Structure 1
Amino acid sequence: MNQEELIHFGTGRQLTEIDYLSELLSYQSLFEEIHSVTNLIQQVQQAVLAINAGLLPEQLPVLKVTDAMIADVQRFVLNKYPKQSNKGNILWAKLAEALENVDFLVRHLRDALIEYFSMYGFVSTPFVKDLSDYIAGEPVLELMAGHGYLSAGLRACQPEQTIIATDNQAWHDQPDVNLRQPVTTVYKMSALSALKKHGDGVAVILMSWAPDTSADDLRVLQLIREQYSDKKFIVIGEKNGATNSKAFWSEAKLKPLLNTHHQSFDLIDERVFEVE
């Protein structure tokens, strides 16, 4: 997928210096002849630069240094110094340490996306296109929209579609708030208030990365069952993990959905569900 095919969600932050990326790229020259490692670094680089420029990135694979990459590095060292074991050992030690650092950095991409872009759930172009096709132009209410990446992507796919993004904007209490405004229009209201105000006028309700520190998600589920049971309720999160309350996961009847292009790149196994 080239850049022209990526969804343009807005201006992005247009940061000229991203320390995380600078640190990762500092290892690129060490591995320039080891394509499996440079490819890993480049995939992370492309994702970060895309979001910074206002584009939803491609879907990422699981980000880690694999046994195959380690074998590639070992092969490179042996080929470079087939009969000079001392030099080979010195080079291997240098590259092995660098590999550990690359592995640490790529495994912590999500932390960087949160720090620089306030993107908690990874929103990729392939996934948003799948979701847009699935919703098929129906009016949408997004609850707990955060900084609005998901709604912004859907709006870019279908500019005439009704998409109402809402969030209680508790993140206003975080530092550097002026640098972390939503990437699209997000109305300030609680999930329950948004549901009561807009629930009758939509066909699809989205809830992505609800916090695991509140039972509001359970109350949303109960209200949907009581008053809006004819709506599609789509939830994105990690079952019994980093998102949503334990009570929600216990009560929700889950149907896995659209996970071809929504696969986790790290230890947080976020998935898409249609919930009854």
Structure 2
Amino acid sequence: MNQEELIRFGTGRQLAEIDYLSELLSYQSLFKEIHSVSALIHQVQQVIQAINSGYLPDQLPQLAVTDVMIADVQQNVLNKFPNQPNKGNVLWGQMVESLENIDFLVRHLRDALIEYFSMYGFVSTPFVQDLSYYTAGYPVLELMAGHGYLSAGLRACQPKQTIIATDNKSWRHQPEVTLCQPVTKVKKMSALSALANYGDSVAVILMSWAPDTSEDDWEVLQAIRTQYRNKKFLVIGEENGATNSKAFWSEAKLKPLLNTHHQSFDLINEQVFEVE
């Protein structure tokens, strides 16, 4: 996608220096002749730069150095030194070490997104467009909205649609608290309070990346089952993994949906579920 096609969620952080990106880009010149590797670096660069500038990025494939990339590097070395194996071995050693570093960096993109932008779940333009189409202009309540990337994207897609973003902002009390402000208006309240205040007035309830350190998500599920059964309840997370409580996953009835443009790019298999 060109930048003109991306959803603008706000101003972004406009950071002048991002150490993670600088380290990754330091390998550009070494692999400039190897399209498969340079394309991988460029994909991650585009994601970081888009979010920093206030745009939701394009979707991502699985990020890793592949066997195809390694073969491309081998061929490049052979082409440069077909009759000079010693020089070829020196260059190969340098490139293998660099490939290992690139692989480590791209596999840890999520850590960088969390550190620099407080984006835990990956929010892309194609996914938010799908989600906006799914909600069809009906009022949406987002629980545990964090810094509000999902709600900001939905608001940008349909400015007249009612999108209520809520979060108790407990992340402000974590040991390594970020000073970043939410990227859109997020009302400070617990998930259960948000349901009590807005549950009757919305059609879709959205909960993304609920923490696995409490059973608040389980209490939300119980409240929806008893008081708001006619609402669509969408959850984004990793089943029995990095998000949500064991109690939630053991009792939730899950129906995967909207995953055409919401697929994992790392070892965390986050998905979208309609939950009963």
TM-score band by shorter chain is over 0.9
SS at match of 1:272: strand
Task: Give the residue type in structure 1 aligned to 2:163.
Answer: I
Per-residue CA deviation, residues 104-151 of structure 1 (Å, 9 max, x unaligned), is 000000000000000000000000000000000000000000000000
2:24 maps to what in 1?
24
Question: What is the deviation of 1:78?
Answer: 0.6
Tell me the secondary structure at the aligned position of residue 82 of structure 2.
Answer: coil
SS of the equivalent of 2:165 reads: strand
Instruction: Map 1:93-132; keep pairs closer than 5 Å.
Output: 93-132=93-132
Return the offset for 1:176: 7.7
Residues 34-113 of structure 1 correspond to what in structure 2 (within 5 A)? 34-113=34-113
- Map of 2:218 onto structure 1: 218
Q: Which contiguous aligned blocks of 4+ residues in structure 1 show a shift greater than 2 angstroms? A: 174-179
> Within 2, Cα distance between the matches of 1:253 and 1:178?
34
Q: TM-score, normalised by structure 1?
A: 0.99
Tell me if structure 1 keeps the 8 A contact 2:118–2:178: no
CA distance in 2 between counterparts of 1:262 and 1:226 reads: 30
Within 1, Cα distance between the matches of 2:213 and 2:175?
20
- SS of residue matched to 1:38: helix
Distance 1:157 1:179 in 2: 27
**C-alpha displacement of 1:171:** 1.4
8 Å Cα contact 2:123/2:150 also seen in 1: yes
Could you say what secondary structure the match of 1:142 adopts?
A: strand
Q: Which residue number corresponds to residue 244 of structure 2? A: 244
> Does the 8 Å CA contact 2:255/2:274 hold for their aligned counterparts?
yes
Shift of 1:177: 5.6
User: What's the counterpart of residue 145 of structure 2?
Assistant: 145
Residue segments in structure 2 that go unaligned for 5+ positions in a row: none
Q: Does 1:182 align with 2:182?
A: yes
Alpha-carbon offset, residue 162 of structure 1: 0.4
Counterparts of 2:77 and 2:272, CA distance in 1: 43
Cα distance between partner residues in 2 of 1:79 and 1:150: 47
Separation (CA, whole Å) in 2 of partners of 1:197 and 1:245: 24
- The superposition leaves residues 210-237 of structure 1 with CA deviations (integer Å, 9 ceiling, x where unpaired) of 0000000000000000000000000000
1:242-267 CA-partner distances (Å, limit 9, x unpaired): 00001101100000000000001000
The CA deviation at 1:179 is: 3.4
CA–CA separation in structure 2 for the residues paired with 1:69 and 1:11: 35
Classify the secondary structure of the residue corresponding to 2:30. Answer: helix
Match of 2:256 in 1: 256
For the residue of structure 2 that corresponds to 1:205, the secondary structure is strand
Q: Distance in 1 between matches of 2:149 and 2:174?
A: 18
C-alpha separation between the residues in 2 aligned to 1:223 and 1:175? 31
Cα deviation for residue 164 of structure 1 reads 0.3
Output the aligned Cα RMSD: 0.9
Match of 2:171 in 1: 171
1:58 and 1:15 map into 2 onto residues whose CA distance is: 20
CA distance in 2, matches of 1:125, 1:166: 21
Tell me the CA shift for residue 272 of structure 1.
0.2
**SS of residue matched to 2:236:** strand
Structure 1 residue 173 displacement after superposition? 1.7
Measure the CA separation in 1 of the matches of 2:97 and 2:177: 37
The answer to whether the 8 A contact 2:120-2:209 is kept is: yes
Identity over the aligned pairs, expressed in percent? 80
Structure 1 gap segments, 5+ residues each: none
